[in-house]
Structure 1
Amino acid sequence: MHTDFPHHKSGKMVPQHQPHCKQTCFVFTEIADIELPPEITKLQSEKLNLAMKSNEIMNGGMASASAIYKNKECLAMGAGQSCHQPQKSPTKGRRLIVILCAVLVCVTMAGGIPLILQLRSSSLLEARMSFIRRLLTEAPLIEGSWTNTEKDSNFSSNIIEVRKNLVGAVLWPVTVPCGSQYLDAVQLAVEGIDKAKRLTSKTGYMRIVESSDEMEQTHLKGEVAILMGLGGGHTLGSSLGVLRSMYMLGVRFVSLTSFGCTTPWAGASIKNDLIIEDNSTTNSLTTFGKTVLYEMNRLGMLVEISQMSETAMITTLKTARAPVLLINAAPLSLCNSTNLASIPDHILSLLQDNGGVIMLNMEKCGDRPLTIREAINAINYVRKVAGVDHIGLSGAPKSYTFLLAELARDRVWGNAAIKKLVGGNVVRILREIETLKDRLPLYENWLPRKVFERNSYCRYEDN
């Protein structure tokens, strides 16, 4: 239907009536007596369509969508279409509302599900930690090695940490400076043993033990068992008699070397550039060194090899008649530090044939503290290379309970496997050593005089 409009200089709204339309529609025009072409009405319809979508998104309601839809009807009528034609219900607005509701539900679930999982994991963590605490009352957690015990203040703080972390037994190597070799190393070692006995007797809840059975009995009494050792072969003075005397004083393990402290019969690992390696000394295990090894096996003493040179470690692993021990160590591929024994994979793999155990230090790599995840990765790595029967503990980030609780999330670490890890493997090799006691021949051998001629070792010779 065509309708003429009176001429006006400026545009205004003019009502337009249809005989069969109950509503009033308005058309805007700037020039009089000009019929609106369909292209203009189409353009205005598209603009209104965009406005409708915008209003629906902003307001989220059906009212605004309905109003825009009616304006759209009126515009179509102005282009010549009839108002009384039936129109379909606006489904796009409802779809948008459904989409908005779905998004709202997703956002709520995204925030709620992690909270639920967090609460659930928290309760599961507490259950795992309770399981670990109960397990540690059944089997002693053996830590090796204990350091910083020279001063009474350090000793007291270490004792607090030991009891707090539910440690049941500690390997305590009496350390003697390497510079005392050929001088008074033996005397310093004896004095260190005496001091260890005096310090432990003051506590009332620590006891120096000399066997695996004593270790387990001490743990069942709620006390901390101390297994004493010597932190370097130079404390023996190259004498089997001194070795046997140390055993009678309660020493149950000996580190054949300390870092950078090569003896006349065993090569040490050199990890400090300031240490000048003497080419005249051995880099492996000499014939007398093998004799020391055999005598330790006969006495029932653990042989500790973590600070030996690679060549000496391999020789010892293949020569020893009983399992060996590596204390305060870590896989070389995961940690290469100057103050930590870093063990290559090919040596870790030899532990299966020897039956030995590596006690992993998972507290630090050099000066960098390790995270729980890094510690667990180290444990799983050694288990893969050496086997579950050859792993022990020498330290833990935060606490052993939390570390073991996180480790227990993996199903491969069940009750039996965790008991082996915390101390079962160390008790096993200690028992194997004890079974060899007095079953091997007595070894007696002195170093030849020429070994000492180039050193300042003082020895009385009875002509």
Structure 2
Amino acid sequence: MRMVMGVMVLGQLLTRILLAAHAGDRLAAARRILRDVPLIDGHNDLPWNIRKFLKNQLRDFRFDDLRESHPWSNTVWSHTDLRRLKEGMVAAQFWSAYVPCSSQHLDSVQLALEQIDLIRRLVNKHSQNMILVTTAEGIEQAHKDGRLASLIGVEGGHAVGTSLAVLRMLYELGARYLTLTHTCNTPWADCSTADEPGQVPQIGGLSNFGKSIVLEMNRLGMMVDLSHVSVPTMLDAMGISRAPVIFSHSSAHALCNSSRNVPDHALRLLATSGGIVMISFYPHFISCSGRSTLQDVAAHINHVRKVAGIDHVGIGAGYDGINLTPTGLEDVSKYPELFAELLTKGWSEKDIQKLAGLNLIRVFKSVEQVRDRMAAEGIEPFNDDIPENDIIGRDYCRYNLRQQFAKP
């Protein structure tokens, strides 16, 4: 009997050793893949945390490793520093120039400019490790050079102040996507809360001015980001856009019925237009609760792959903008573990490459090609003004040219 028990224990031990060895092999394979292709994350909110904690002062900001640095070590909102980005093999990061909804119709444009300024100063301060990138080719080159490609995404359409001229200037400053809304409607687009029970849409999608915003983004070569928007806004944007769109940090509605997630019919339309959903890691978007796991995130990735196809899924964790993280994906150092998990689910190395970054690069290049075609067609900047009826009744400080020239 003792011999039988001994054999069983030995067998269990050998099984564990073999499983550990296989897990180690898969992690090594994931790391090898990420050396070959850039891992691109679509959304990180570190810039807003720097504003919250340091008032955008970078003099004493020790970005190399924040785990033992106050106040970063004492907050649930901190998941990112240069050391952990390197451990996670992140090659390109879209930094969010987030603008809170409470600033709409007030100083939202100024806040957007200040956050873009912060991102650019952060990159300049760490130029040995980071480089500001504004093109798809720039991502590829930075990966070859071993520097973190740093891109800017503006979060919240109210950051443009209902002005196409402001949109153009944000592009000139380096912004390469604009999230059309945040958690509030703009005068030209409905956000995702409009889809929640008991809510009444303000517009029912995109207004005509909102469609002009999308077309001007196409002309500029700026990616249209549909995270945070309502489903009708998603459909309107995909219908009007000449270029593929992105969801910089969203997940699958079929697995978690949050209004922040993308329903299957929108995923299928996204596939026909060539876009991409970059999966968020926030537990409330993954499991519709305060707890989730790496395996739950993998399930969302697999769902988008099943419905839209392998060419239309990416990673947009949302670190530093979430106060809860999945078990196994606690910070930016954990990305290789996610790819290793997918290898256990039968993903090929080619598919992992697409998920990691090649899909986003394809979309980015397509957006640039649409820009070039529109330029070749002689399409000039759109100069539509938002109709006054769309902003009447709002607490909106706005210069009135007609008043300036009115008779006393």
TM-score computed with the length of structure 2 as normaliser:
0.81
Percent pairwise identity: 35
Offset, 1:420: 0.4
Whole-Å separation in 1 of the counterparts to 2:265 and 2:109:
34
* Structure 1 match to 2:72: none
Match of 1:458 in 2: 397
Q: Deviations over 1:82-111 (max 9, x none)?
A: xxxxxxxxxxxxxxxxxxxxx666544432
CA distance in 2, matches of 1:109, 1:432: 60
1:175 aligns with 2:98: yes
Q: Deviations over 1:114-133 (max 9, x none)?
A: 32222122222222212211
Instruction: Give 1:97's aligned residue.
Output: none
Gaps of 5+ in 2: 55-60, 67-79, 318-325, 403-408
Name the CA distance, whole Å, in 2 between partners of 1:350 and 1:176. Answer: 29
Residue in 1 that maps onto 2:357 = 423
What residue is the counterpart of 2:210 in the other structure?
289
Amino acid corresponding to residue 112 of structure 1 in structure 2: L
Determine the C-alpha separation between the residues in 2 that align with 1:458 and 1:375: 43
Q: Structure 2 CA distance, aligned partners of 1:303 and 1:458?
A: 27
Within 5 A, what are the aligned runs for 1:47-446? Answer: 106-152=4-50, 156=63, 157=66, 158-159=80-81, 160-204=83-127, 205-259=129-183, 261-270=184-193, 281-337=202-258, 341-362=260-281, 364-365=283-284, 368-395=290-317, 397-398=328-329, 399-411=334-346, 413-440=347-374, 441-442=379-380, 443-446=382-385
Looking at structure 2, the residues matched to 379 and 212 of structure 1 have their Cα atoms a distance apart, in angstroms, of 23
Deviations 1:400-456 (A, max 9, x none): 111211211233x11110000011111110000011124222222111222222222
> 1:445 & 1:405 partners in 2: Cα distance?
49
Contact 2:112 2:159 in 1 (8 A): yes
User: Aligned partners of 1:105 and 1:347: how far apart in 2?
Assistant: 60
Q: Cα deviation per residue 1:236-280 (whole Å; 9 max; x = unaligned)?
A: 111111111111111100000001x1111111111899x99676x
For residues 219 and 179 of structure 2, the distance between their equivalents in structure 1, rounded to whole angstroms, comes to 16
Structure 1 distance, partners of 2:150, 2:191, is: 26
Letter in 1 for 2:276: V
Summarize the Cα distance change of 1:221–1:356 in structure 2 as closer, same or farther, 3 Å threshold.
same
Q: Which amino acid aligns with 2:240?
A: T
Give the number of the structure with larger relative contact order, counting CA–CA contacts within 8 Å between residues 6 or more apart: 2
Displacement after TM superposition at 1:387 (Å): 0.8
Runs of 5+ unmatched residues, structure 1: 1-102
SS of 2:229's equivalent in the other structure is: coil
2: CA distance, partners of 1:351 / 1:388: 12
Structure number with larger C-alpha Rg: 1
Amino acid of the structure 1 residue aligned with 2:312: H
Aligned counterparts of 1:184 and 1:225: Cα–Cα separation in 2: 29
Cα deviation 1:8-44 (Å, max 9, x = unaligned): xxxxxxxxxxxxxxxxxxxxxxxxxxxxxxxxxxxxx
